[in-house]
């Protein structure tokens, strides 16, 4: 799996939003935004 971000900070913020159930506003910054679903509702991260 690779999110292949243009910026590591963007990836960090987007994954944080997904983990916390927030709307992701900048998916276009990721090469593979579908990979975010792997982090959604992941109990070990909550």
Q: Each residue of 1-33: pLDDT tens digit? A: 555 555 566 778 888 888 888 998 878 778 888
> Domain count of the chain?
1
Quick check: pTM over 0.75?
A: no
How far apart CA 5 and CA 43 sit, in angstroms, is 24
Tell me the average pLDDT across 31-39: 86
In a domain, 3, yes or no: no
In a domain, 13, yes or no: yes
In a domain, 1, yes or no: no
In a domain, 2, yes or no: no
Could you tell me the residue range of the domain that residue 23 belongs to? 8-41
3, 31 Cβ separation under 8 angstroms = yes
4 conformational bin, left if phi > 0, alpha if psi -120 to 50, beta if neither: left
In a domain, 14, yes or no: yes
In a domain, 17, yes or no: yes
């Amino acid at each position: 799996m690779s999110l292949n971000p243009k910026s590591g900070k963007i990836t960090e913020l987007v994954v944080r939003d997904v983990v916390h159930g927030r709307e992701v506003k900048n998916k276009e910054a990721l090469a593979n935004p579908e990979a975010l679903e792997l982090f959604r509702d992941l109990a070990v991260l909550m």
